[in-house]
Chain A
Amino acid sequence: MTDAKPTLWQRYLSANPVTISFLAILLGFVVGALVIIFSSADVMHAWTQIFNSPGGIFHALKVSLDNVGAAYRAMFTGSVVDPTIFWHALTTGQGWNAALTPLSETLTYAAPLAIISIGVAISFETGLFNIGANGQAILGGIAGTAFGSMINLPMYIHLPLTLLCGVAAGAFFGLIPGVLKALTGAHEVIVTLMLNYVVAFFLLYSLLSTPLQLPGQANDLSRVILPSAQLPTFFSTATTLRVNWGILIAIAVVAFGWWFLNRSTMGFDFRVTGANPNAARASGINPKKVIIYVFLISGGLAGLAGVVQVDGTTHALDGGFLIGSAGIGFTAITVSLLGRNKPINVFWGAILFSALGVGGRIMQAETGIPLDLATIIQSAVVLFVATPVLVQEIFRLREGNLHTIQLNTKGWGT
C-alpha cells in the first residue's frame, strides 16, 4: 500500500466518473459509426468489391469513413457551428444569423430537456422512478397553453402565471402516483407509465374540442399563446434565432436542483431515503411525506418543462406534442442516468442530447441517414455509462473509484 501518489495524467486514465463519461460518449459515437457503415448500401457494396480490384480494401475503407465523416460533420455543423459560415460571418460581418442558428436551436431544445431531467434526477436520487414525466410535461403544456392563449393580462403577470399553470398541472399529475404509492403502496412505475397514456389521449381530445382547439380548425391544433405570455427571445423575431428565456429558466432550475439535493434539509431527507429507506425511517423521516413531495417536485418540474417547450418554440400545441420518437420525459431518464443525478452533469447531458437531436435532423436532411441514429447514439452512451466496468476494460483503465459511479437503480417501499 505504498503506491506513489498518482500523477495527474494517471488520474485521468483511471476509472473515475469524468473519464468514464467521456469515454462512454466516445464509444457511443463508435457504435453510431458502425451502424452507419452497416446500414449504408454504398458502403456495403464497396466492401463486397474488395477482392475485385487491387486496393479495393482501401477504397472500401475510404467509402466507410467518408460516409461516417459526412454524417458526423452534418451533425456537428447542424448543432454547434459550421466553421466556414462562422468564418465568413467573422470576416465579412454578414450571415451571423446562419452562423448562430445551430447553437440557438441546440439551446432552445436543451432548455426543457434540462428542466425535466432535473426533476427526474431528483426522483431517481430518492430511489423513486418517475417514468411519467412525459405525461406530466404534456399536461403542463396543455395548462400553460390554455392560460396563455385564452386569458388576457399584462405580460409581467401573464407570463409568470402561464409558467405557474404548467408547474401546477405537472405537480397535480405527479401527485396522483405519489398519493397512490404513499397510501396504498401502488407501484409508481406502473402508475406513472399508464398515466402517460391517459394524458396522451387527453391531449388529442382537448385539441379536438372547443375551448382549446384553434377556432375554425378541423385539425388537432391548439389556440396560439398570446405574445404577452410568450417566453421572450434574445434576438429579434426577424431572425431564425429562437433561443429564448427558457434556457435562463433551465439554468435557474439546475441551480435549484443543485441547492436542493446538496444543501436543503428536504433534499437531505430525499437522499437519505433513497440510499437507505430503513435508516431514513429510523431517523424519523416520514417516508409517505417524502414520496408525496418527490412526486410534487418532479411532476412540477416536468410541467414547467412542458410549458417552456410550447411557450418558447411553437407557441401552440399539436397532436405530436412531446411524443415524437422518444418523448422528452423518456429522454430525460437517459439524461439523468448519463449525469448520474448530479444537476450540473445533468445540464451538460441535456445539452449533448439536445445537440444530437438537432444535429440529427440536419444529418437526415443532408445525408439521408435517419434521425434515429441520434437515438441509437444516445442509447449506446447510456448503456456504456451504466456499465463502467465494461468501459474500464475496453480502454484498460487503472482501477479507480468505480464504486462512486454505481447507478441508483433500486426502488423501495411497497
Chain B
Amino acid sequence: MTGGTTALLLFGIAVVLIGVYGARVSRKTAVDYMLAGRQIGAVVMFFYVAFVIYSAWTFYGYPGFTYLSGAPYSIFPLAAHLSFALFFVLVGPRLWAMSRMYGYISPVEFVEQRYESPFLRLLTALVLLVFIVPYVGVQVVGVGAGFHALTGLPYLAGAVYLAVLLLAVVFLGGMRTVAWVNVLLGSIFIAAFAGALIWVVAAVLPGGLLGAAQRLEASSPAIFGAPGPMGLWTYKAMVGLSIAGLTACAWPHVVVTTMTARTVGVLRSFALAFLLLGGVLFYAVPNLWGMIVGPALITGLKGKAADAVVQLVVTKFLPAWFAVFVLMAVIAAALSTVGTQLMVSGIFISRDLLTKWLRRQVTDMEMITYTRIGLIVVVILSFLLAWKRPTEMGRFLSDIASPGFTQWLPLLLGGLFWRRATKYGAIAGLSGGVLVLVLAMKYKAITFGFQPVLVALAVNLFLYVMVSLLTRPVAPATVEMFFSRVDKYLAGREGVACSE
C-alpha cells in the first residue's frame, strides 16, 4: 500500500470515528438528528453553510470548466454568493421563525400548510429529490477523478470511498455531526486549496501570477473574456448564467440551514461573512486556478479531462505528501456538501413522503430510521449516475441540478411574501417549469437561444401568478398564520407557540 493510500485510509477512519462520536452525543430526537437541535451558532454556521456550498465542484468542476470556457463562467458562482447572502437576510428570518413557531423540520413542510395542499408538498419534495441526485453525483465524480489523478486507482474506487464515509458521518451522527465535521473539513479545504495555489504561484510558475497572466494574454487571450475559448459565452448565455447563480439560493440543502440557527442574528452574521470572506476573498482561489494557473501549467486538456486540472498541477509540481493533503481537502469539500444534501434528502423521504403516506404519527426513532433509509437510496442513485458520468462535472451543477432547484423558488418566495398565492398557481408553476426544463435539455430549440433555466423560470412565474389570480385564495386564518403572526414573532411580540 502506498503512502498516499495509507493516508487516505487513516483520514477515512478518523472521519468514521467522528461519526460514531456524533451518534453517541446525539439526543436521539428527530429535531436533533435532522436540524442539530436548532442550536447552530455564528462561527459554526459560517463553516457549515460555506462548506455545504463549496464542494468538490469548487475544486474540480468550476476551475475545470473555467479552464475550458473562460473567465465569464465566474458569473455563476459569484452571482450565487450574492444570492445566498441576500437569502439569509431577506428570507431566512421568516423560515427560521416558522420553523420555531410551527415545529417544521423539513423546509417543504410549510408548503403544505401555507398552500393548504398535501399534494403540493409531495410534488415539491419529489422534484427537489430528483435534482439532488445529480448534485450528489457531482461530488462522487469529483472524488473519483481526484483519486484517479493522485493514486492511479480506478475512478470508482474514489466513489466507493466517499460513499462509505458519507454513510458513516450522516447515517450515524445526523445534522449536528455534519455541522461539526464541516468546521474541520472546511479548515482543511481552505488550507490545502489556497496553500497549493500559493505554493505553485511562488515556486513553480515562472514570473509568478503576473508573468503567467502576461503569457496567456499573448498566447490565449480568449480565456479572459467573452465569448471564451469555446465560443460559449454570448450575452444571452451569460444572462442565463447570471440567473442560474442568482437563483442558487433555492438549493434545498442551503434553505434548511436557516432553520438550524440558534438565533436570528446568526443569519445576519453568516450573510455578511459569506459575501465578503467567501465571495470576494476565498473565491479568488478557484478563479486563479481556472483562469491563470491551470491554463499556464497544463495545456491541451479537453472535455471531462479538464475537471482534474487542479489535481494534475498539484500531482505534477508539488511533493507527493502535499498532493495527498490536497486530495483529502477535496474529499473534505465533497463530504461537507453531500452530508447536508443527504440529510435533506433523508428528511424529504422520511418527513415529507413516507410519514405522509403512512398516515399515522411516527415516533422520533422511526423518523430517524426512515431518514437513514432515504440516505441509502440517494447514495445508491448518485453512485449510479457518477458511474455513467454523462457530461463535464461543471455542467452537472450549473446546467442540471441548480436549474432544477430553481423551480421551487417562486412558490417558496411567493408563499412567504405574497398573500394571494394559491396552491393551484404553485402546482401549475412548478409542474410547468420542470416540464420546460426537462424538454429543453433535449430540444434546445424551445429555448430560443436562452439558457434553459431562464425559459423554465419565466414559464413557471407566469403560470404561478396567473393561475393564482384566477383561483380561490387560501383561508384568512392561513394568511394570518404565515404573515401577521410571523411578523409579530420576529418583532418579539409573540411567544413561541410550538418548538423543540
> Do they bind each other?
no
